[in-house]
Structure 1
């Protein structure tokens, strides 16, 4: 149970007392003193009570840890998704349920409007078979439909959706994208990478998207719902890893009107870098609620989508995946952004994609680009050569936290067991002294950090299959990914990551001590309350 005095105004001294507090900056304590939104002192509650003239006391009977920080997720995308159909495997448990969900949405929207579903997982919902235009035509024949895969790098359209997007059998693949085709050469409705982005991702589209975005007011409602979900999982900070102008406007309006409870650092999609450069903006612009972190770009496809760029082909195929930005454009972008001293965060999953990115960074560094905490987003498949080059360049890596557990059922089929020993290589990267941060990539993977901590410590899929056991890390190390590691990756280690004096008073109350239970039980620990700047943003019923 959590009890708190009413929120006080500026200049308030607060005593926080708990059964145990893991500050991650020293041994456990039983109390914190806060001054406004900062930790002022830690220690014994009686001693702190004598040292400070306190205005209020917060008492909790759980265990406190620093607030969780997701180093790569998509709250703006989630705000939009929550306004449409949730086709995640937890909801669309089989093919019949998927059809029912899409039909119910078709009945609810006006004539001719899009039916949009997200987080479809072909492995869990349709038995490993990817649905096509004919399937969606049978489900919803009289509305355009877009069903986006959980990896968010490909989706499926019905015939009405293809027509609304201006696509026909004679259409050619866009640069950096592919239009899926059947055996006779006709479009099968599957659209990959830029072909999908042009239809539904305003931040990356080369023009107006075929699927119209929701109104700003509706997206604010979606963002409010998204924040409730994140806070209920103990998340206090997040990097929004793909922001276009509409997303920046959404987050800015939420911050201006006091509706942004989450702390957000933005990565702006690379097509919009000219705007940032013209305004003279640099990494760190903003405040502790909303700030610019840097620029986001892509080299390849999705790890869980089976289309990242790999040296060895996917199991049983001659397919090496997709490169979404050619070598020349990648070199030019890396040279320009890093040369300007702006943080560059590049999505690179496969080992071949990572090598190409490292080539570009080494070239830019040789040309005099200043050192910054540039990031490799995902960095899923590595080897000794890649690890050595990352370390030499001083890059930060942001691998998936929960993919071994959540997506393990499909990873064995894509990559084989041997390659899984160097995938999401937390053990190897930490041992090499490389800064590592934890990320969900939600909606592409589960957003709950406690699930990711279990995944990193156990490295087993939900069905128990081993997913690269050599990459297991300790619970303490896994906590570090979502606290100190994520803070460092965003250049915020001076205010986040621990509950040491001077840090922001962002903390989570857990129902059990995660450092005293088996790793497999951490995923089920209840989040009792979440606090940001000493203010309660979530309390479990």
Structure 2
């Protein structure tokens, strides 16, 4: 054995020699660290990174689908010399931005509604072609009549989606009987939250006594009208028509195409399992929303209230089981969605004083007295909360819930997102900012499609012009993002950006210019801001080394065109984790 002094010297020499040995081993290796590097060259790359806002080249590791470097061919040259790589110049005349993120969609609802006949107050560009808008009662009746005449079945209900009473007038059972006396006909409200059936269709809808007891105030049998939770009763009755495996596959194909055309590489299903049932949805998602031909990832965020009604005591174990089957493309984050008041598009949101100018009242999705109890257990377990709220009375309740959660169960790292945020007051924005830590995800299309009509019907100009008040959120320092709620709005982020920066409505009015935001703020709301809202900002939302190589490929730079023209910029396609996908 060496004496202690010699042992200490030997240890010191060994430590000094170790780095040299490591360097020698590294130098001896001929294998490059990356085997399939692609450098995409573009006219301009808008990174959404404050420290490096623009570039002309981005290097991607083909094996991991992650970004290696951002800059120019010149800045990358020193390290690229020693790495096998290819330079892809197909985007040399195009502009790259981070792949768009939609933090609130409904894939199965989109498939369920957009595969039916459509008579909506706005045009829809679908894979099957463009379906023109129907903007008055006469044309709506004419389209229903033509569709009914062409319907070949007298024992299968025909479903037409898109009815809205502010454009098409009120409809009841007798109105549809006059159009289709011998065929079953249902019209589904543009909001999805209402159904009207004719007599032939009513005969096919069993109404359990229990349903009448629980939701009787939302079911009008005489008029064939079903709203909110009552709509669910009719929905279940027609499920054998709307929820067949063929219909589901067709619907998800439509959703996939619309995602690609919109330049989207990430979306969140914000009521997972509640449209046609969790087991069917999860199996269909695995079959149709993953794989090499699907250039986007989907997050699934469940609404526990709906699951608990459907599954009772099995709801939580079933959620844990399914979320354990998640993968990189189909993800189950630790998050839930809860619901406050009714649909904005139906004017069923709960409005505080002076209420609706025609005297009607909105609806509650979950009664106010139960709101806190639904979300508290999940908040205590560290889940993020995404809260559907549309009216200012509904928002008062949700802000009470949020403040109580923060006071009784303090947390530092969380997401508490107000979803849709249709109608609000300035004091509510200020209160939300004072409570602190929350964010807002607005429907990017409400102001464009509905501000004109709501100013004339139900709300008046002062309130309708202020819907989705992004300018107030910006001034208060509240983080915000934008979503489509597809199919409540189209999967067209550039239209949402245009609306946010112009406040221009479908009729061409500028509603509340004080609520406009800058082009940069609006683009961040559909890229890095949306990624942050979903806790994915470390992975996506900007173009930076280490992040996923998700890009949208545009024909023009949104910063360089007139704000009103941003919506008209062509979307060539996307790059998803390094793979190139031209829009179909």
* TM bin (shorter chain): 0.7 to 0.9
1:55 aligns with 2:50: no
Aligned-residue Cα RMSD (Å) equals 2.7
Give the direction of change, closer, same or farther, for the CA distance of 1:358–1:450 in structure 2 (3 Å limit): same
DSSP-derived class of the 2:88 partner: strand
Distance 1:538 1:474 in 2: 29
Q: CA deviation at 1:489?
A: 0.9
Distance 1:46 1:221 in 2: 47
Q: Residues 218-271 of structure 1, C-alpha deviation per residue, up to 9 Å, x if partnerless?
A: 412321221111211211111112221032332133346556432111121322
User: Equivalences for 1:144-159 in 2 at 5 Å?
Assistant: 144-159=184-199
Distance 2:246 2:266 in 1: 23
**Alignment correspondent of 1:250:** 284
Distance 1:316 1:105 in 2: 40
Distance 1:477 1:410 in 2: 27
**Alignment correspondent of 1:24:** 48
Distance 1:394 1:225 in 2: 37
DSSP-derived class of the 1:445 partner: coil
**Alignment correspondent of 1:495:** 539
Please say if residues 426 and 473 of structure 1, whose CA atoms lie closer than 8 Å, have aligned partners that are also in contact.
Answer: yes
Please say if residues 251 and 260 of structure 1, whose CA atoms lie closer than 8 Å, have aligned partners that are also in contact.
Answer: no
User: Of the candidates 207, 211, 236, which is equivalent to residue 239 of structure 2?
Assistant: 211
Distance 2:211 2:375 in 1: 31
Equivalenced residues, count: 514
Q: Which moved more, 1:484-493 or 1:97-106?
A: 97-106
**Alignment correspondent of 1:204:** none
Give the direction of change, closer, same or farther, for the CA distance of 1:499–1:209 in structure 2 (3 Å limit): farther
Please say if residues 269 and 298 of structure 2, whose CA atoms lie closer than 8 Å, have aligned partners that are also in contact.
Answer: yes
Give the direction of change, closer, same or farther, for the CA distance of 1:292–1:119 in structure 2 (3 Å limit): farther
1:187 aligns with 2:222: yes
What TM-score, normalized by structure 1, do the two folds share?
A: 0.88
Q: CA deviation at 1:333?
A: 0.3
User: Of the candidates 323, 327, 350, which is equivalent to residue 364 of structure 2?
Assistant: 323
Give the direction of change, closer, same or farther, for the CA distance of 1:199–1:284 in structure 2 (3 Å limit): same
1:13 aligns with 2:37: yes
1:106 aligns with 2:139: no
Q: CA deviation at 1:158?
A: 1.4
Give the direction of change, closer, same or farther, for the CA distance of 1:428–1:138 in structure 2 (3 Å limit): same
User: Equivalences for 1:174-323 in 2 at 5 Å?
Assistant: 174-175=214-215, 178-180=218-220, 187-200=222-235, 208-212=236-240, 213-244=242-273, 245=278, 246-255=280-289, 258=292, 260-270=294-304, 271-272=306-307, 275=314, 277-278=316-317, 281=320, 286-293=326-333, 294-323=335-364
User: Equivalences for 1:86-165 in 2 at 5 Å?
Assistant: 86-89=118-121, 90=123, 91=131, 93=134, 94-100=139-145, 102-103=147-148, 106-107=151-152, 110-124=153-167, 126=168, 129-165=169-205
Give the direction of change, closer, same or farther, for the CA distance of 1:502–1:263 in structure 2 (3 Å limit): same
Give the direction of change, closer, same or farther, for the CA distance of 1:280–1:445 in structure 2 (3 Å limit): closer
Give the direction of change, closer, same or farther, for the CA distance of 1:487–1:464 in structure 2 (3 Å limit): same
Give the direction of change, closer, same or farther, for the CA distance of 1:82–1:445 in structure 2 (3 Å limit): closer
DSSP-derived class of the 1:62 partner: strand
Please say if residues 451 and 465 of structure 2, whose CA atoms lie closer than 8 Å, have aligned partners that are also in contact.
Answer: no
**Alignment correspondent of 2:554:** 510
Q: Which moved more, 1:264-273 or 1:298-307?
A: 264-273
In structure 1, stretches of 5+ residues that fail to align are 1-9, 181-185, 201-207
Q: Which moved more, 1:451-460 or 1:381-390?
A: 381-390
Instruction: From the two aligned structures, give the one with the greater helix fraction.
Output: 2
Q: CA deviation at 1:427?
A: 1.2
**Alignment correspondent of 2:102:** 70
In structure 2, stretches of 5+ residues that fail to align are 1-33, 124-130
Distance 1:11 1:160 in 2: 65
1:43 aligns with 2:101: no
Q: Which has the larger radius of gyration?
A: 2
**Alignment correspondent of 2:115:** 83
Please say if residues 257 and 583 of structure 2, whose CA atoms lie closer than 8 Å, have aligned partners that are also in contact.
Answer: no
